[in-house]
């Protein structure tokens, strides 16, 4: 077993080490430099069973470490420590729990041996074989299968409506890829996207999805419907040379105006490759294509990074919207994201609006647009007009 203590105060590390040793704990490591700690955590992830993390540190702070732990899929026990008031500690541990980390407890300094004895009891009681990291891909499909699906045109799209909080009118639709598999039926992207990326198929995949989405848009336009069309693109697409030209060609082919298209990029991925993505993002934006930062709250963007990237919209991740009304940590993240977006002049989509409470809360904090089961589930494009008639009848 390895225990890691991350605290910028060497005295705290020394004291905790002595106290833990007196309780029979061996293999204790301390780290005063938080960015060096991040590297150590990434390198020894599976060996670390217990991690103490101070919240206030210069440079990389405790909250950033918590986010990294979640991204890495850390499965050991976590103890948050702080000299600050209990409220900050509580909301930090709520955040860590939302991110599915095993938070044993949150301790206010000074820490006593009795506190640590309690930590060890909780650690021993922690269920082993806890669920794997949430984003572990299910590798049930091979690159060859996906390549074949692309050739055969088996990749289709479903449309999920987005409506305005202010007057409930239809603003846009997110086009979600589905694989109409000859044996397995409708296969969702989380079951094959990782494989498609690994096989270098994302350019072809995104082009198929874009084509299907724009065909749907042209069909709706013939009925007088012109919702904003949101299509997810991957980081692979953004750093490939041909994206801008491909998007323009497809728009021209169906006669959909560039300003009716929004491309969504996942926050965590774009921030890892900020420099590489920037010029493509700028060129897309110059052509009046909307750019949306997707799953916001799951990465760790700073206001400065966001300001440097030419986004027009921000989508708050479902994890910080659904249930936010009765969960202070989610609520805090939701409203903090809102303030950030306002400062940057971005329009804000709340994802995961699944019930009346989510709707009321996201509306209250000032989100512009709602997406989620409370509005509608994703549907085949041809069903959208009928759904809209029903929806408008209820308005
Ligand atoms: Mg999306």
- The string of pLDDT tens digits covering residues 55-105 is 888 877 888 888 888 888 899 999 999 887 777 787 788 788 878 899 999
Q: Is residue 138 part of a domain?
A: no
- Structure confidence at residue 134 (pLDDT): 42
Residue 114 sits in the same domain as residue 151: no
Residue 96 sits in the same domain as residue 186: no
Residue 70 sits in the same domain as residue 216: no
From ligand 1's centre to the CA of 349, what distance in Å? Answer: 10
The answer to whether the beta carbons of residues 96 and 67 sit under 8 Å apart is no
Where a domain ends, among 94, 125, 156? 125
From ligand 1's centre to the CA of 264, what distance in Å? Answer: 6
Task: Tally the domains of the chain.
Answer: 2
Residue 189 sits in the same domain as residue 49: no
Q: Is residue 211 part of a domain?
A: yes
Query: What's the half-sphere exposure (Cβ side, CA atoms, 13 Å) at 353?
Result: 28
Where a domain ends, among 74, 98, 125? 125
Where a domain ends, among 70, 91, 125? 125
pTM: 0.66
- Structure confidence at residue 1 (pLDDT): 57
From ligand 1's centre to the CA of 151, what distance in Å? Answer: 24
Distance, CA of 280 to CA of 286 (rounded, Å) = 10
Instruction: Supply the CATH number for residue 31's domain.
Output: 3.40.50.2300
Neighbours of ion ligand 1 (CB under 5 A): 232, 264, 294
Distance, CA of 160 to CA of 372 (rounded, Å) = 8
Query: Per residue in 311-336, pLDDT tens?
Result: 999 999 898 899 888 888 788 888 88
Q: Is residue 97 part of a domain?
A: yes
Band (145; pLDDT cuts 50, 70, 90): very high
From ligand 1's centre to the CA of 190, what distance in Å? Answer: 12
Domain with 96, as residue range(s), is 2-125
7: helix, strand or coil: coil
Distance, CA of 168 to CA of 184 (rounded, Å) = 36
Q: Is residue 197 part of a domain?
A: yes
Tokens of 151: 């050739």
From ligand 1's centre to the CA of 168, what distance in Å? Answer: 20
Cβ burial, residue 185 (10 Å; 0-12/13-18/19+): exposed
Q: Is residue 373 part of a domain?
A: yes
Distance, CA of 131 to CA of 362 (rounded, Å) = 30
Comparing 117 with 240, the larger pLDDT belongs to 117
From ligand 1's centre to the CA of 296, what distance in Å? Answer: 10
Query: Per residue in 265-274, pLDDT tens?
Result: 988 777 777 7
Q: Is residue 236 part of a domain?
A: yes
């Amino acid at each position: 077993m390895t225990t890691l203590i991350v605290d910028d105060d060497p005295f705290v590390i020394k004291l905790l080490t002595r106290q833990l040793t007196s309780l029979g704990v061996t293999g204790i490591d301390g780290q005063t430099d938080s960015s060096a700690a991040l590297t150590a955590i990434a390198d020894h992830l599976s060996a670390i069973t217990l991690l103490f993390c101070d919240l206030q540190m210069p440079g990389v702070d405790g909250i950033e470490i918590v986010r990294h732990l979640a991204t890495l899929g850390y499965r050991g026990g976590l103890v948050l420590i702080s000299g600050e008031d209990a409220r900050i500690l509580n909301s930090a541990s709520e955040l860590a729990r939302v991110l599915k980390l095993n938070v044993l407890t949150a301790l206010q300094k000074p820490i006593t041996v009795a506190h640590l004895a309690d930590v060890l009891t909780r650690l021993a009681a922690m269920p082993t074989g806890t669920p794997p990291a949430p984003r572990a891909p299910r590798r049930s499909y091979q690159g060859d299968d996906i390549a074949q699906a692309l050739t055969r045109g088996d990749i289709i799209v479903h449309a999920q409506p987005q409506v305005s909080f202010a007057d409930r009118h239809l603003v846009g639709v997110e086009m979600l890829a589905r694989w109409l598999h000859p044996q397995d039926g409708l296969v969702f992207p989380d079951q094959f996207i990782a494989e498609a990326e690994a096989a270098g198929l994302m350019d072809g995949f995104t082009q198929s999805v874009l084509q299907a989405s724009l065909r749907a848009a042209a069909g709706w336009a013939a009925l007088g419907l012109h919702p904003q069309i949101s299509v997810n693109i991957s980081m692979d697409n953004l750093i490939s040379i041909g994206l801008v030209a491909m998007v323009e060609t497809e728009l021209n082919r169906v006669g959909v105006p560039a300003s009716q298209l929004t491309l969504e990029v996942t926050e965590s991925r774009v921030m890892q490759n900020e420099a590489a993505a920037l010029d493509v993002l700028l060129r897309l934006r110059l052509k009046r294509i909307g750019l949306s930062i997707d799953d916001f709250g799951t990465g760790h963007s700073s206001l400065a990074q966001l300001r440097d990237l030419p986004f027009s919209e921000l989508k708050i991740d479902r994890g910080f919207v659904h249930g936010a009304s009765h969960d202070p940590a989610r609520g805090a993240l939701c409203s903090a994201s809102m303030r950030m977006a306002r400062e940057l002049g971005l329009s804000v989509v709340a994802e995961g609006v699944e019930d009346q409470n989510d709707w009321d809360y996201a509306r209250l904090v000032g989100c512009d647009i709602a997406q989620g089961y409370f509005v509608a589930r994703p549907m085949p494009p041809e069903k959208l007009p009928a759904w809209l008639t029903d929806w408008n009848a209820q308005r």
